[in-house]
Amino acid sequence: MKKTMLCISAITLLLLFACSNNDSSTSPTGFPDTNEEGSFDVFDYFISFNSGVQLFSSSEVNSCIFKLNNIEIDTDWFYDEDEDELFYPGDGWWCLFDLEELPEEIDLVHGSEITYYLRINGKTFSGTIMYPSELEVNWPEFNINEDFIFSWTLQENTDIQFVNMSVGDYSNSDEQLWELPNYNRNYTILENNFQGYNESELWIDVGLYCINYRNHGKCLIISSTHDYFYIYKDKLSPNRLNRKKIILRIIKEINLK
């Protein structure tokens, strides 16, 4: 469960960085630059609201006060050494909460505003962020010879939206990442993205991510909702088995901006 939560946070974070602009503002609405190598050491901490609550610190946590909706929550930090660089932002200290592990008084409901307060190692970050409404996606039947057209319902516009696609067979694969206007409620992946693959071995993995964020300089706050469409021949999707490859591809895209 912990690795699953780490992976969800990491992929969301990667997508956010992959299409970030060059706004160097440290206000809660600006987005931080990556460094020349596209790494994530531009921030020391982040909080992610996505299928639970995830806190990250790049340095050992000596003191911490964490509140949600003005209710203090005890934190239990553990160190995760990212030996294979799979779970960016890499080595660091994590504190993870499933929704059912939060105090009963805290009800993180999709479509509601979250008030957060984090005082960690003598630094304080606080504010509010909207937890996106639940995402309902109308995924079509997949046909390798047709455009893949899908639509979705989301009550409000989030700060940004992404579509992430991985497609391939046992010999070749490709990944694509598209940023969408936040008001979009449909997208078309052109049929030519599926050509050149062995149909009997074809796998495809498409993810839709709707994300809100707040930037406090050295602390990034994320709230998101997502949904997936996938077809694969093995028990595990190759896209999810090759996250490191996808991560390196996304970092390459960052460097091109």
Peptide bond preceding 89 in cis form (omega within 30 of 0)? yes
**Model pLDDT, residue 29:** 43
How far apart are the C-alpha atoms of 144 and 126, rounded to whole Å? 47
DSSP 200: G
State how far the alpha carbon of 101 is from the alpha carbons of 20, 56, 108, 112, 157, in Å: 32, 18, 12, 19, 29
**Model pLDDT, residue 43:** 75
136-213+225-242: CATH class: mainly beta
Enumerate residues 6+ apart whose C-beta is below 8 A from 176: 164, 165, 189, 193
Phi-psi region of 13 (alpha: psi -120 to 50; beta: other; left: phi over 0): alpha
Q: Under a CB-based contact definition with an 8 Å cutoff, are residues 5 and 237 in contact?
A: no
Cβ-based burial of 204 (10 A; exposed 0-12, middle 13-18, buried ≥19)? buried
Question: In the chain, pLDDT over 90 holds for what percent of residues?
Answer: 40
Q: Residue length, the chain?
A: 257
**Model pLDDT, residue 127:** 96
- Kindly list the domain boundaries of the chain, sorted by start residue: 2-130, 136-213+225-242
**Model pLDDT, residue 118:** 97
The per-residue pLDDT for range 41-54, each reduced to its tens digit, is 567 898 989 878 99
Residue spans of the chain under pLDDT 50? 1-6, 21-40, 83-88, 235-257
The per-residue pLDDT for range 150-200, each reduced to its tens digit, is 999 999 999 888 898 989 888 888 988 888 999 999 999 999 999 999 888
**Model pLDDT, residue 34:** 42
HSE-CB at 91 with a 13 A cutoff on CA atoms is: 4
**Model pLDDT, residue 60:** 94
